């Protein structure tokens, strides 16, 4: 019995010791050392925790990609791979892998832009009934065409604009024929037949569908890359106002826009920028992609924001810190201004995700003008410590002073700018 009690006591002591080891300061320091660091050449240095006078830290790489500044700080020299070794009495106890990426700089935006999108095919946004000699009918519903469907082809011919639909409807109606439609629903393509009916009131053949081939709105430019002229804006997908589904685009353009007034946000009601632009205004770039991370394309030429027009380095998601930052945006006319915000939280992300940061407006002037984050501010670039770290995307409905931000690396990825050079992303 005494032996069992002794053994149990030893077991309890060992258990307590195991639980307390992670709380021991040197162990905490050791556990805080990352396994991997990703950084940019000619931009960054990094500091590693020191483990005491008995432990040496040294840079090791076949190529000269990193070098020591002092005993615990290192800087990136050139693109490549290396590592930092912790040694105790000549024996390695920890290795930190270091990937150094090619130098990359982008020019932040902040300009208010008008967005014109032309859909892939024509988008079905509603049904309506037709008054015929035999009563009311809805041809679109009879053909099982749903709101959100995209009509790609009629009778084997591609459809790009609404005006192309009417001649097919008239011809089929005059000849008592059906239309053969190719419809896109989600990722699936479907075939169906649609019979036009004669509208007794207007004496025209109708198909009972509300359709649309374009959409327009405003947002904010986030960045452009000066060599390729590739840009990113908005930071979120553009959805159709009726179907609430992302718009699949055939092409699109962006133009300058001017902010005329601001409807301030209140708890429960997001505010909104009131802007003015013309679809016929000279375009400043095209739109080739509409994704969850924004709209993307190429600028016809470089544009200026008058605030921060020099190319700036970027921060990867793990480099973003909680604390002060700035956003660039327009609250009146076309003048881009810098306003203070706070990064309340930031999540290091291994894979693309739209909600990587929580951003809070702290600038008294911006709070006075807008109440915080408002619609139309989406895409406003976020700057921290001289680096572009992301863009404002969504406002919190119940707290208009705060909202979400997306990390810049995911927007660059969507723009077709490969920041990793096929390297594995930061751990």
Residue with tokens 């208010």: 112
Give the separation between CA 335 and CA 216, rounded to whole angstroms: 22
- CA dist., res. 368 & res. 178, Å (int): 59
Annotated active-site residue in 317, 346, 378, 402 = 378
Strand order in the sheet with 45-47: 45-47, 73-76, 66-68
**378 included as an active-site residue:** yes
State how beta strands 387-396 and 399-407 pair.
Answer: antiparallel
Q: How far apart are CA 14 and CA 19, in angstroms?
A: 9
Tokens at 343, concatenated: 């990064």
> Which residue in 346, 363, 394, 407 is the catalytic one?
363
- Specify whether 236 is catalytic: yes
Query: What tokens does 114 get?
Result: 């008008």
128 is known as an active-site residue: no
> Which residue from 242, 248, 131, 141 is spatially nearest to 192, judged by alpha carbons?
141
Selection from 320, 397, 335 nearest residue 365 by Cα: 335
Residues ≥6 apart with Cβ < 8 Å to 418? none
User: In this structure, how many other beta carbons lie within 10 angstroms of the beta carbon of residue 365?
Assistant: 11
CA distances to 142, 146, 181, 200, 202 from 137, in Å: 8, 15, 19, 12, 15
Residue whose token pair is 């670039």 = 381
Residue among 41, 99, 112, 236 flagged as catalytic: 236
User: What number of H helices and E strands is found in the chain?
Assistant: 6, 33
β-pairing verdict for 271-276 and 230-233: unpaired
Beta-sheet pairing, 312-313 with 105-108: antiparallel
- Helix then strand then coil, in percent of the chain rounded to 5, is 15, 50, 40
Q: Considering just the CA atoms, what is the radius of gyration of the chain in Å? A: 29
- What are 397's two structure tokens? 């409905």
Active-site amino acid positions: 236, 363, 378
């Amino acid at each position: 019995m005494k032996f069992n009690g002794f053994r149990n006591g030893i077991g309890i002591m060992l258990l307590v010791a195991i639980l307390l080891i992670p709380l021991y300061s040197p162990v905490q320091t050791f556990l805080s050392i990352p396994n991997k660091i990703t950084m940019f050449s000619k931009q960054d240095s990094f500091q590693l925790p020191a483990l005491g006078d008995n432990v040496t830290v040294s840079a090791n790489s076949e190529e000269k990609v990193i070098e020591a500044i002092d005993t615990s700080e290192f800087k990136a020299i050139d693109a490549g791979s290396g590592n930092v070794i912790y040694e105790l009495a000549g024996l390695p106890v920890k290795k930190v892998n270091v990937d150094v990426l090619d130098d990359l700089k982008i020019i932040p935006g902040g300009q208010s832009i008008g967005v014109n999108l032309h859909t892939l095919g024509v988008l079905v946004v509603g049904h309506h009934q037709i008054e015929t000699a035999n009563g009311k009918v809805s041809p679109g519903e009879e053909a099982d065409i749903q709101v959100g469907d995209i009509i790609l082809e009629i009778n084997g011919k591609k459809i790009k604009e609404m005006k192309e639909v009417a001649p097919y409807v008239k011809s089929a109606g005059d000849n008592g024929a059906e239309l053969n439609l190719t419809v896109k629903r989600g990722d699936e393509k479907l075939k169906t037949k649609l019979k036009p009916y004669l509208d007794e009131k207007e004496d025209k053949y109708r198909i009972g569908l509300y359709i649309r081939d374009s959409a327009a709105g405003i947002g904010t430019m986030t960045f452009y890359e000066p060599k390729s002229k590739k840009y990113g804006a908005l930071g979120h997908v553009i959805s159709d106002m009726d179907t609430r589904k992302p718009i699949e685009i055939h092409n699109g353009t962006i133009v300058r826009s001017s902010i005329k007034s601001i409807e301030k946000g209140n708890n429960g009601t997001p505010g909104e920028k009131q802007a003015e632009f013309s679809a016929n205004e000279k375009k400043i770039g095209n739109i080739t992609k509409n994704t969850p991370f924004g709209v993307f394309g190429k600028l016809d030429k470089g544009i200026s924001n008058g605030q921060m027009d020099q190319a700036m380095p970027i921060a990867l998601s793990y480099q973003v810190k909680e604390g002060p930052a700035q956003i660039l945006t327009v609250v009146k006319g076309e003048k881009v201004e810098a306003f203070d915000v706070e990064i309340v939280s930031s999540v290091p992300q291994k894979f693309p995700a739209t909600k990587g940061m929580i951003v809070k407006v702290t600038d008294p002037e911006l709070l006075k003008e807008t109440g915080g984050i408002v619609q139309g501010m989406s895409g406003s670039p976020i700057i921290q410590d001289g680096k572009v770290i992301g863009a404002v995307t969504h406002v919190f409905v119940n707290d208009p002073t705060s909202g979400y931000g997306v990390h810049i690396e995911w927007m660059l990825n969507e723009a077709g700018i490969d920041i990793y050079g096929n390297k594995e992303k930061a751990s």
